Structure 1
Amino acid sequence: MTRQGKETMQPGPAELAPDVIRVLAPNPSALTGPGTNSYILGRQAPLVIDPGPEDPAHLRALMTALGGRPCGGIVVTHAHLDHSALAPALAQATGAPVYAFGGPRAGQSATMARLEAAGLPAGPGLDEGFRFDRPLGHGAVLQTPEGPMRALHVPGHLGNHLCLVRNGMGFSGDLVLGWTSTAIVPPQGDLADYRASLALLQREGLDILYPGHGEPVTDPAARIAMLLSHRQEREDQLRAALAEAPGTPAALALRLYGPLPEGVAAAASATVLSHLLDLLARGLATCDVPPGPAASFAAA
C-alpha cells in the first residue's frame, strides 16, 4: 500500500476553502485512516457529499456545520457503510433528497456479477440496504447556487461509485485517497474498471481533489499517475511471484507485502485477488478451481 504521510486530522468540521467544509467522522481505523470525510459544499443551500457512518455524534456535527441553512441535497459517492449509512437520518433531519448513481450493486461489472452469482461473497462494508431518491448518471449535472456540479461514474472500488467535479475541484470518494492506495475487493471491486476510472478522472485536469479519507490532494495529476504506476508495479511483482510458484491470494499477498495487521492483511489479499482475476481475464494466469480466495493461481 502506498502512503503519503502521517495524518494530523481531528474529528469535526474544518473549513478547507471558502465554500468547502470537511466534517471528519469519528471512525478511524487501519482502512479508513483518520476517518470518513463528509463535505459541505456551498454557502447557500449547500450539498452534503458523503454523509458518512451511522453515528449520532457525526449527525450532530453535520447539522452544526450546516448552521441552520437548508440542505440542497445529499450526494453519496458509493454505497459503503462508512460513506452512506447516515444518509437516511440526515435526509430525515434536513428534508433533503439523497442522490446516488444507483443501488449497492448498480454498475457492477459483468465479470464480477458472474463471480458473485457463482458464490464469491460480497466484500465487507457493503450497504446492502442503501436507498436513494434521485439518480445521478455519468455526466449528470446538479445545479447549485455557486455553479453546476458534474457527476462522473467511476466504478472500480465499487460499481456505483461517483466522483463529483466543479470549478477545478473534485470529490473523489474512495477512488483517490489522501494517504494510501484504494482497496479493490471483488466481487464489488474490479481492477480493470478502477484503472479506467483513474484515467477518466486524470483527463479532467483538476486542480485539487477532496478524498473520502485523508487530506486534500493538491496535485491530482501526479497522485493519479502514481496510483496507476503503483498498480502496474504490483502487477509486475505478482507476475514475477507466479512465475516462481503458484499460490492463493493470501499466500501471494504475504509474499508481496510481508506480514500485515489482520484487517489490512484481508484487504491486501482481496486486492491481490483483484489483480489475479484481471490476469486471468487477460490470459496471463490460470486457476485450478473456480476463482476465489481459496483458489490457487499460477502463471499462464
Structure 2
Amino acid sequence: MIPYVREIEFEYGRCDQVSPLIRRVIADNPGPFTYTGTGTYIVGRGTVAVIDPGPDLDGHLQALLAALDGETVSHILVTHHHSDHSPLARPLARATGATIYGRRAPHLAEAASDLTLEAGDDDGFRPDVEIADGAVFEGPGWTLRAVTTPGHTSNHVCFALAEENALFSGDHIMGWSTTVITPPDGDMGAYFASLDKVKALDFDTLWPTHGSPVREVAPFIQAYADHRRAREAQILAALAAGPTTIKAMVPTLYAAVDPRLHPAAAMSVLAHVLLLVKEGRVTCEGVAGLDSEYRLA
C-alpha cells in the first residue's frame, strides 16, 4: 500500500510559508486530477524563483503578484506543459519581467478523444530557455538544479533545492495519488527509470505540485514503484485468463477507483501494456490501443 499524504491546510490565494525557503500559493482549480488545486511555489526572498505558475486564472495571478510584492522574480520554472502547470507562466513573466525555463511541449499526433485527460495539454508552451538535466539556477540563499524525469510526460523535469535537500516533484511523484502515464507522450519504461533516478538522489522532502509534501521519501518511492509492478502483475494475470482489451480490463482492475478516473486509468494500463509488448511479454494484433486485443506472448 502506498502511504499517501492527503492532509493539507490552506486557503485559496493565501501565501503560506511551508519551509524556511519555500512559500506556496494554491490555485482554485480543484478536481480529480489536481486534488485541491495547483500549488505554486516561491523559493527564496527578495530575488526569487517561481515553480509551476499554474492555470491561467486571473485570481491566481493576482494572488501570486500580491505574494511577490516588492520582490524580483528571476526565474519561472515549469515542470511540464499540462494546463494546470504552465499556462500562467507567460502572464506572470509579462507582469514581472522574469525568464521562463523548462522543456517545450512535445509535438505529437493528436490523441484520440477518448484518451483526453481533464487536465489537458498546454500545447503552445514554449519556455524562453530550454533546459537540460543538471542545469543550475541560483539566487540569494538558494540553489535549484534541474532533474529531468520523463515518464508522466516526455518533457517532465523536477527541481532540486540544495539548501533543503528537497525536490519539487511536479506530477512525477505526488503524495495524494499515483501519477497518470499517458501514451503516446507518457512512457512507463521511462517512468520506472525516473523513479529509480529520484530515489538514488536521496532527498529529505518531496514537494509535489498538488497536495502535501512527502517526508519519508525512500519508502514512498519504493511503494510507488511496487504499486506499478503490482498493476503490471494484475494485467498479466488478466491476460492469462485469455485475450482481452484494455477497456474490458479497467473496470475490474480499478473497481475501487472513482469512475471519473477510469479514462485516465485506461491510459496507464495502455502504458503498462506498451512496455510489456516492447519487452516481448505481450502481443497485440495491429496497432496498440484501448480496443486492441492483447494476449500473453
Which TM-score applies when normalising by structure 1?
A: 0.91
Select which of 41, 46, 71 maps to 1:39: 41
Deviation for aligned residue 1:234: 0.6
1:222 counterpart residue number: 219
Structure 1, 54-63 or 4-13: larger mean CA deviation: 4-13
- Hey, what's the Cα distance between the residues in 2 that align with 1:17 and 1:290? 48
1:191 counterpart residue number: 188
Structure 1, 243-252 or 42-51: larger mean CA deviation: 243-252
Gaps of 5+ in 2: none
- Hey, what's the Cα distance between the residues in 2 that align with 1:99 and 1:193? 22
Deviation for aligned residue 1:83: 0.2
2:155 counterpart residue number: 160
Alignment-mate amino acid for residue 161 of structure 2: R
2:138–2:144 contact (8 Å) kept in structure 1: yes
Deviation for aligned residue 1:103: 1.3
Alignment-mate amino acid for residue 153 of structure 1: T
- Hey, what's the Cα distance between the residues in 1 that align with 2:85 and 2:195? 20
- Hey, what's the Cα distance between the residues in 2 that align with 1:247 and 1:266? 17
Counterparts in 2 of 1:1-300, with a 5 A limit? 4-10=4-10, 11-12=12-13, 13-100=15-102, 102-105=103-106, 116=109, 123-124=116-117, 125-167=120-162, 168-258=165-255, 260-300=257-297
1:76-122 CA-to-partner distances (Å, cap 9, x unmatched) read 0000010001111111111101000x21117xxxxxx6xx48x7677
1:110 counterpart residue number: none
- Hey, what's the Cα distance between the residues in 1 that align with 2:62 and 2:2? 33
- Hey, what's the Cα distance between the residues in 1 that align with 2:76 and 2:285? 45
Alignment-mate amino acid for residue 288 of structure 2: P
Count of residues in correspondence between the two structures? 290
Gaps of 5+ in 1: 107-112
2:54–2:89 contact (8 Å) kept in structure 1: yes
Describe the SS at the equivalent of 1:82: coil
Deviation for aligned residue 1:260: 4.5
Using a 3 Å threshold, how does the CA distance of structure 1 residues 245 and 255 change in structure 2: closer, same or farther?
Answer: farther
Root mean square deviation, CA, Å: 1.9
2:23–2:43 contact (8 Å) kept in structure 1: yes
Alignment-mate amino acid for residue 64 of structure 1: A
Using a 3 Å threshold, how does the CA distance of structure 1 residues 299 and 247 change in structure 2: closer, same or farther?
Answer: same
2:5–2:175 contact (8 Å) kept in structure 1: no
Alignment-mate amino acid for residue 19 of structure 1: L
1:233-258 CA-to-partner distances (Å, cap 9, x unmatched) read 11111101110122221211112111
Alignment-mate amino acid for residue 295 of structure 2: A
2:149–2:194 contact (8 Å) kept in structure 1: yes
1:18-48 CA-to-partner distances (Å, cap 9, x unmatched) read 2101111111111111111110011121100
1:120–1:292 contact (8 Å) kept in structure 2: no
Describe the SS at the equivalent of 2:240: helix
- Hey, what's the Cα distance between the residues in 2 that align with 1:169 and 1:65? 22
Deviation for aligned residue 1:259: 6.4
Deviation for aligned residue 1:188: 1.3
Structure 1, 2-11 or 287-296: larger mean CA deviation: 2-11
2:6–2:212 contact (8 Å) kept in structure 1: no
Deviation for aligned residue 1:145: 1.3
- Hey, what's the Cα distance between the residues in 2 that align with 1:243 and 1:153? 36
- Hey, what's the Cα distance between the residues in 1 that align with 2:143 and 2:255? 46
Deviation for aligned residue 1:212: 1.3
- Hey, what's the Cα distance between the residues in 2 that align with 1:217 and 1:6? 10
2:181–2:267 contact (8 Å) kept in structure 1: yes
